[in-house]
Amino acid sequence: MSSALVFAVAGAALVALGLHALVVRAHLLHKILGFNVMGSGVFLVLVGLAQRDGVDPVPQAMVLTGIVVAVSATALALILMRHLYALTGATTLED
């Protein structure tokens, strides 16, 4: 079993776990954390693909850029959640 396959399987498991948190959980912080777990899974899959035929710098650069974007998106989501809590007093979305 190659390391690329291990990364791909672990990444797919993280994507499934994050998707489950996005669908099942009602609390916004759990949804934000699920989104981050999904992003980490995608990054693992990209790293696994990069290791298939030696070292390819393009997927590695995409993962590094994706990490920066994920941190920014998480900060924005947390600010929006805090603003929603200040306005409504609730941290869940209504159906």
Question: Taking the domains of the chain in order of start, what are their residue ranges?
Answer: 3-88
Q: Which CATH class is domain 3-88?
A: mainly alpha
Cβ-proximal residues to 60 (8 Å cutoff; 6+ apart), any chain: 47, 50
CA-CA distance, 3 to 80, in Å (whole number)? 38
Regions in the chain scoring below 50 on pLDDT: none
pLDDT in tens, 69-87: 999 999 999 999 999 999 9
Token pair of 46, please? 């990209």
pLDDT of residue 95: 64
Residue 22 pLDDT: 92
CA distance 66 to 78: 18
**pLDDT given for residue 93 in this prediction:** 79
Alpha-carbon dihedral 8, 14, 15, 18, rounded to 10 degrees = -170
